[in-house]
């Protein structure tokens, strides 16, 4: 059922993650595939600027790779009204694959469930219990069940539910016994009259017997209903109790599932129950499907394409419960594992969007202006307008092609992109750190590195005290061995570093200038991926 492929970047997404996901999902759609871009975190200011510039909606937020019930194939629910007779329910049940009927009220809200065990429950009932249920069946329900025609239907019909088959009657001998009951009769005029006189509440005339005008008048006077049927007496006797409405035999305490629940959570919960089928309802309380244990163990898992990352700690939660179809990336090869070969494209360049632009070309597809603009914005961001050490001639070539398609002035657009993410004074320390935070497992050490841009050094100085306090607190709560924040100049004139953790002393061996025990500066390092992480990895591996 679930044919959609989700295209996602990494957690704490930067512009490349957002724009690459949108552009690649668009390419997949143009190639005839059902793809949709998602994000794993909040949009940063730079991404918002790029999206707004080209009037594109951002990807929707998805935090878990596991399949929800609404993603998987389910049986069509069979809904029946509470007034349906057991006879009709039996007929309906024979046509239903999962042998369950969902009983709903006039607003289509679930009230109960009917299975074969519910419909068979009357067979073992004591007479008193069965009679009390038959007393709830209307004249119309009885007539429908025995394939009969209503001859007389008095107002305010109400019987005691007792059922008799009469073959012989002698005056008033049976008067008390028949009073208020339902009587099945195959004989003619005289017995009909006697039974009506006895106070019978419903007289069922079988075998095509007729009812005289006199007996009809008497029935109206006495408040006795008359139903006429072509069926024989024994056939009527066998089926008449199936005139009971299903609402009196249904299971009321129904185990239900929300369509937003995760499949494996539902599977664990239902393993302790015994029913064959369970109704699935949406947020409005409407029934949208029926599931069984078969559906929960034989379903198609969500499919993902990962862009701009290949590390498990950077990707969507519970990725092991999903299927990875492709990876498009420009970083080191991470620790993602798949059960079968996939399309994996990894290139040494400055931006994933450069690779995706090339894939457009390889497929002979020219991206629309807005998607060309998104990819261009991502390239400018990731390469810091070609000043980053990660920039290649390939990035520049793709950027120029995209700039022509996006119909923008490259210099003007680049200034807008790089300036969009430098609002430090108006941001909280938490927001700044998590704009683009990535975690790394380097040997036995756990390291987190965030990065953002700045334009004026005084902007950093104004937030430095509160930011140091926050990063120290975050390091302690998350138990990182080292947390580093890179503030990179938008003109690629180096980076300011703030750091905390047990390993913070190694920073003096990584960067050019140590300002104090928690901060420093380097005029050369502006790339986390190709400059900081390799140096840090080499140092930690020697420890």
Please provide the DSSP assignment of 133-147 as one string.
Answer: HHTT--HHHHHHHTT
Q: What's the CA gap between 406 and 369, in Å, rounded? A: 5
Q: Which candidate, 197, 198, 192, 194, places its Cα nearest to that of 226?
A: 192
Give the SS3 label for residue 376.
Answer: helix
Q: Which residues contact 222 (CB under 8 A, 6 or more apart)?
A: 196, 197, 199
Question: From the CB of residue 226, how many other CB atoms can be counted at a distance below 10 Å?
Answer: 24
Q: What's the CA gap between 154 and 226, in Å, rounded? A: 9
DSSP string, 150-210: EEE--TT------EEEES---TTTTHHHHTT-EEEE-S-HHHHHHHHHTT-SEEEE-TT--
Q: What's the CA gap between 373 and 516, in Å, rounded? A: 41
Question: From the CB of residue 217, how many other CB atoms can be counted at a distance below 10 Å?
Answer: 12
Determine the pLDDT at residue 110. Answer: 95
Residue 245: DSSP 8-state: B
Q: What's the CA gap between 299 and 294, in Å, rounded? A: 8
Q: Which residues contact 66 (CB under 8 A, 6 or more apart)?
A: 262, 263, 264, 302, 318, 321, 322
Determine the pLDDT at residue 114. Answer: 94
Determine the pLDDT at residue 168. Answer: 60
For residues 27 and 5, is the Cβ–Cβ distance under 8 A? Answer: no
Determine the pLDDT at residue 500. Answer: 96
Alpha-helical segments (H) within 384-498:
393-406, 410-420, 429-434, 457-478
Q: Which candidate, 346, 341, 342, places its Cα nearest to that of 359?
A: 346
Torsion of CA 469, 475, 477, 478, to 10 degrees: 150
In sequence order, what are the beta bridge partners of 61?
39
Residue 337: DSSP 8-state: -
Q: What's the CA gap between 258 and 289, in Å, rounded? A: 10
CB crowding 93-107: b at 16 or more within 10 Å, else e? beebebebbbbbeee
Q: Which residues contact 284 (CB under 8 A, 6 or more apart)?
A: none
Task: Please report, in tens digits, the pLDDT of each residue of the chain (543 residues total).
Answer: 558 999 999 998 999 999 999 999 999 999 999 999 999 999 988 999 999 999 999 999 999 999 999 999 999 999 999 999 999 999 999 998 888 999 999 999 999 999 999 999 998 899 999 999 999 999 999 999 999 999 999 998 999 999 999 876 554 455 678 899 999 998 788 889 989 998 999 999 999 889 999 999 999 999 999 999 999 999 999 999 999 999 999 999 999 999 999 999 999 999 888 788 899 999 999 999 999 988 998 899 999 999 999 999 999 999 999 999 999 999 989 899 998 999 999 999 999 999 999 999 999 999 999 999 999 999 999 998 998 888 999 999 999 999 999 999 999 999 899 888 666 767 889 988 988 888 998 889 999 999 988 877 888 888 899 999 999 999 999 999 999 999 988 777 789 999 999 999 999 999 999 999 999 999 889 888 888 999 999 988 877
Q: What's the CA gap between 362 and 355, in Å, rounded? A: 10
Q: What's the CA gap between 228 and 150, in Å, rounded? A: 6
**Where does residue 99 fall: left (phi above 0), alpha (psi -120 to 50 degrees), or beta otherwise?**
left
H or E stretch covering 372: helix 369-383
Q: Which residues contact 497 (CB under 8 A, 6 or more apart)?
A: 484, 485, 486, 487, 507, 511, 519, 520, 521, 522
């Amino acid at each position: 059922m679930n044919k959609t492929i989700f295209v996602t970047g990494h957690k704490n997404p930067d512009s490349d993650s957002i724009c690459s996901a949108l552009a690649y999902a668009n390419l997949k759609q143009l190639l005839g595939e059902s793809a949709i871009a998602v994000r794993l975190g909040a949009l940063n200011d730079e991404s918002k600027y790029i999206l707004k510039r080209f009037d594109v909606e951002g990807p929707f937020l998805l935090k878990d790779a596991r399949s929800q019930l609404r993603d998987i194939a389910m049986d069509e629910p069979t809904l029946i009204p509470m007034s349906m007779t057991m006879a009709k329910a039996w007929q309906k049940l024979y046509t239903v694959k999962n042998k369950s009927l969902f009983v709903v009220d006039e607003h289509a809200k679930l009230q109960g469930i009917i299975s074969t065990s519910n419909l068979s429950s009357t067979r073992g009932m004591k007479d008193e219990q069965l009679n009390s249920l038959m007393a709830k069946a209307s004249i119309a329900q009885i007539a429908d069940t025995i394939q009969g025609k209503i001859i007389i239907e008095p107002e305010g019909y109400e019987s005691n539910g007792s059922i008799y088959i009469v073959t012989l009657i002698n005056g008033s001998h049976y008067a008390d016994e028949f009073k208020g009951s339902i009587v099945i009769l195959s004989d003619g005029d005289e017995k009909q009259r006697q039974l009506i006189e006895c106070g019978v509440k419903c007289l069922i005339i079988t075998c095509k017997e007729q009812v005289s005008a006199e007996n009809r008048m008497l029935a109206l006077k006495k408040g006795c209903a008359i139903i006429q049927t072509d069926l024989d007496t024994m056939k009527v006797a066998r089926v008449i109790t199936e005139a009971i409405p299903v609402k009196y035999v249904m299971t009321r305490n129904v185990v239900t599932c929300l369509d937003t629940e995760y499949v494996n959570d539902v599977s664990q919960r239902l393993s302790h129950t015994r029913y064959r089928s369970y109704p699935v309802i949406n947020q409005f309380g409407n029934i949208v499907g029926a599931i069984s244990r078969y559906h929960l163990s034989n379903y198609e898992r969500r499919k993902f394409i990962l862009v701009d990352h290949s590390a498990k700690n950077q990707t969507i939660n519970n990725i092991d419960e999903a299927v990875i179809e492709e990876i498009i990336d420009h970083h080191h090869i991470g620790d993602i594992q798949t059960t079968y070969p996939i399309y994996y494209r990894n290139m040494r360049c400055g931006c994933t969007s450069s690779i995706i632009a090339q894939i457009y070309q390889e497929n002979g597809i020219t991206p629309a202006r807005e998607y060309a603009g998104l990819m261009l914005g991502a390239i400018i961001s990731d390469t810091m307008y070609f000043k980053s050490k990660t920039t290649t001639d390939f990035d520049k070539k793709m950027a120029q092609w995209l700039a022509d398609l996006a119909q923008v002035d490259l210099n003007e657009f680049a200034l807008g992109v790089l300036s969009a993410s430098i609002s430090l004074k108006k941001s909280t320390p938490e927001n700044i750190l998590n704009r683009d935070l990535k975690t790394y497992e380097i040997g036995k050490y756990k390291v987190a590195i965030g990065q953002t841009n700045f334009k004026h050094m005084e902007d950093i100085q104004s937030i430095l005290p509160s930011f140091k306090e926050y990063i120290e607190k975050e390091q302690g709560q998350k138990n990182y061995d080292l947390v580093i924040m890179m503030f990179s100049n938008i003109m690629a004139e180096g980076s300011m570093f703030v750091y905390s953790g047990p390993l913070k002393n190694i920073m003096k061996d990584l960067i050019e200038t140590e300002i104090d025990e928690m901060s420093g500066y380097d005029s050369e390092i502006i790339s986390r991926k190709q400059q900081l992480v390799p140096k840090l990895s080499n140092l930690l591996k020697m420890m």
